[in-house]
Structure 1
């Protein structure tokens, strides 16, 4: 074999190796690009609802409307005779304080909710008051009605939560006014505990479960029939707030199934939409 042929074959061999390396790099980069794209879009469904909650004047108007009605009801029910002192039971997240920057972070990082991720946010104690919330607590304080914060935040988050509300100027920021999750996330046992000491005249929340246990099991119609049954209580004893970002209503989209991947959730969200 001539030296020229040997050199030629070596060049061909080196070229094949180089092409193989370049192909591997291209596939790796393509895979990373797809992975990054999926990550970027995995929480895309939150974008519009989060923008609405943060920016729209309609959202702010609904909060002011709800708190205005709540004040009227407090004045009305506070006149009723009773042996126990009166109290209003309020939810915290997306009722009294605005955690939408957490949803913003979910979108930014393409990362779903998990308790550790949530704790990163609550530890900062940076949630803002929802429109009218602080003034409502001060109003209740001025007429002698207690406010009880009943939330599904964990008891380990109490210090951060109290620091947050105190910095915003809320009334009733004492440990005795907070009932967070210790053993169970069900709110009815904690409402019953409040009722032992107070006459609960009003309940405020962004989730139906903030009002009564009857709303916990929604059924195939997403709980619409239960709302119809108790429709006269809304604006009366129950004051509900807007939250299009998340809530127990989501469980109906996913047929109450846990552990679904993002692609499965995407398909079920599309399936849940009604079109003509």
Structure 2
């Protein structure tokens, strides 16, 4: 709202002001005033709103809390049904019936909140790199995702083993376990399976988690899986939008039953699927491909 000054200036408020006449074309006192044109253009950051949503919105905390509460309510049903198994059949090489129960978690943005690391990248205008990521992990300051502690306690009270399959490198195991324990989780030393874990009789492709899931499935009936990306539940090959849609359609009945997805708008395999999984492209080229994927109508 723009205010007009009277012809007489208040000397105590503003010394030396001139008695300018009000212009005939000046807007009325309560007329809307356009924002001034920016003096500089600030580059858009793809992650600004995403990181702020995770760090400041109650909606994000509520979404995580309701996910873990709903999963807790399904535990007894999953235990009682001896045919219940959360591993895709293509990733199970042995019958699950009769095996002790377990739950598999992804770590980042599923159990631990790393949004401060994402905030640092956003503030600096940088992108993910291994050295800075390892430094963050070794700070051991990630906090627990809302609801996960209560779920984990409920599961362990029922004799369910907890496993954590992460694409954190195996040499970050000690720091990761220390962080998990630091937020209140009762984690066994062999419960963390990081990137680089050797699995006999299974060929792992890059960062895919299928071999590590199979390793757990050899000794356990997996009741539930938790993750923030589709690849936390089943192997995606190839990682294309169409194939991701096919996998989603084939497993719709498992979401909210055996598979539980935590919200993470800051990163994920959904993003490189939009630019042919080619991070060697310049950043502007990747952003252009993402803009091309926008739908302006249903």
1:26 is matched with none
Instruction: Determine the C-alpha separation between the residues in 2 that align with 1:65 and 1:127.
Output: 21
1:101-112 equivalence runs, <5 A: 101-112=116-127
Provide, for residues 5-44 of structure 1, a one-character-per-residue CA deviation record: whole Å limited to 9, x for no partner: xxxxxxxxxxxxxxxxxxxxxxxxxxxxxxxx99x848x1
Counterpart among 178, 183, 186 of residue 168 in structure 1: 183
Provide, for residues 226-256 of structure 1, a one-character-per-residue CA deviation record: whole Å limited to 9, x for no partner: 2112111111111111111100000122122
2:5 is matched with none
2:100 is matched with 85
1:230 is matched with 251
The residue matched to 1:204 in structure 2 has which SS?
A: strand
Using a 3 Å threshold, how does the CA distance of structure 1 residues 91 and 165 change in structure 2: closer, same or farther? same
Instruction: Determine the C-alpha separation between the residues in 1 that align with 2:250 and 2:122.
Output: 37
1:52-201 equivalence runs, <5 A: 52-81=53-82, 82-171=97-186, 173-182=187-196, 184-201=206-223
Runs of 4 or more, structure 1, over 4 Å off, are: none
Using a 3 Å threshold, how does the CA distance of structure 1 residues 106 and 229 change in structure 2: closer, same or farther? same
Instruction: Determine the C-alpha separation between the residues in 2 that align with 1:252 and 1:176.
Output: 33
2:295 is matched with 274
Q: Report if aligned partners of 2:239, 2:277 keep a CA contact under 8 Å in 1.
A: no
Q: How far apart are residue 222 of structure 1 and its match? A: 5.9
1:246-261 equivalence runs, <5 A: 246-261=267-282
Q: Report if aligned partners of 1:203, 1:211 keep a CA contact under 8 Å in 2.
A: yes
1:9-88 equivalence runs, <5 A: 41=43, 44-81=45-82, 82-88=97-103
Q: How far apart are residue 151 of structure 1 and its match? A: 0.8
Instruction: Determine the C-alpha separation between the residues in 1 that align with 2:142 and 2:152.
Output: 17
Q: Report if aligned partners of 1:85, 1:145 keep a CA contact under 8 Å in 2.
A: yes
**Residue-pair matches, total:** 236
Q: Report if aligned partners of 2:240, 2:276 keep a CA contact under 8 Å in 1.
A: no
1:211 is matched with 233
Contiguous gaps of at least 5 residues in structure 1: 1-36
The residue matched to 1:45 in structure 2 has which SS?
A: coil
| TM-score (normalised: structure 2) | 0.75
| TM-score (normalised: structure 1) | 0.80
Instruction: Determine the C-alpha separation between the residues in 1 that align with 2:240 and 2:286.
Output: 19
1:239 is matched with 260
Instruction: Determine the C-alpha separation between the residues in 2 that align with 1:51 and 1:164.
Output: 23
